[in-house]
Every structure is written in structure tokens, then in C-alpha cells.
Amino acid sequence: MREFLDRHGAGEAAIDGPPSRSGLKTVAFICTGIVWLLADLYTKSLFSEVKVGQLVAGPFAGLFDIRLVHNRGAAWGMLSDSTLALGVFSAVLCAVAFVYFLLTVKRASWLETIGLALVVGGGIGNAVDRFVQGYVVDFIETTFIDFPVFNVADIGVTCGIVLFMAGILLSGAHTEGAAAEKTE
């Protein structure tokens, strides 16, 4: 065991001392993804006794209603009745994102870490719907703009992509600034 730990850069300090940044980011990634997945599954479960198309609540400040929709395709009705293919695509994309995170955890920023975790948690939430029910449960309907009805998983995926990209851009700017300082 000691040989394995020494070969992989984990000596006694890693065992007895505080957790590494990579370890903390990995725990944060997993916890964030699980919490987002559970929040998504819980909110969707609230609609088990609601009829499709039924207005449940709203409008809220003229911004959105809560209305149940069963989505068998992608946003705006694209790829309708492609539930299985979209579920497989989502599961594969989540697996790729997780592997990417594991390969880059040492250099990933916190924004990238949390962003990818939200993408994975949301992606798994919608994939579970597709595989178990044959459709995605959507229920947040904007009233001020023509926009597809969405759910908590979709919020995680969208916000996660924004956070991930912001993390990449900010770490790139930080790296360029540090490189410029070294050359001066």
C-alpha cells in the first residue's frame, strides 16, 4: 500500500494531514452532483398525480407558471420521440464529463468543478426520466418569452455550462496574467 501511495504522490502527509485540494474538489463535485440530482428527482416526483398540461400554480410575477409537460424529445420539440437515443446521449455525455473532471481535477478551478457537477447531476436526472418513464417531466413554463418548458435538471445543465465556461475563461486569463508577470 505504501508503495502505491508513494508512486501516486500520496505520502504520509496525505494520509495523516489535511485533505488535498484535488480531494476536496472531488468531494465537492460528487456532493454537488448528488444534491442537484436529488433536488431534480424530488421536484419531478411532486407531479406524479398531476394531469399533463394542467396549470398547477402561477403566474409568478408575470415570469413563469408551473405547468406539467411530458417531453419525449429535446427543447422546442426537436427530436420528438427520440427519448431512448437522448437518454443514451445524456448518459454518455455525463460519463465523459466525469472522466474529464477526474483527469483535470488538479488544475480545474472551483467554478469548473461546480459547473461540471451541475451538468452531470442535471444530465443524470433527465436520463433517469427518459429510461424509467420514457419522457422527461418538465414543469417551469416562462410566460414573458416563448421558451421551452424546463425543470431543475435543465437549470443545472444550463447554469453548469455557464459556470464551467466562466471558470475556463477566468483561469485562462489568470494564467496569461501570471505568464506576463514572469516575463517582466
**Cell reading at 138:** 418538465
Distance CA 132, CA 33 (A): 20
Q: Is 184 helix (H, G, I), strand (E, B) or coil?
A: coil
Of 40, 81, 138, 146, the catalytic one is 138
Distance CA 121, CA 119 (A): 6
Nearest Cα neighbor of 75 from 159, 19, 160, 146 is 146
Q: Please list the residues that pair with 140 across neighbouring strands.
A: 66, 150
Distance CA 86, CA 91 (A): 9
138 is known as an active-site residue: yes
81 is known as an active-site residue: no
Could you say which DSSP state residue 106 is in?
T
Annotated catalytic residues are 138, 154
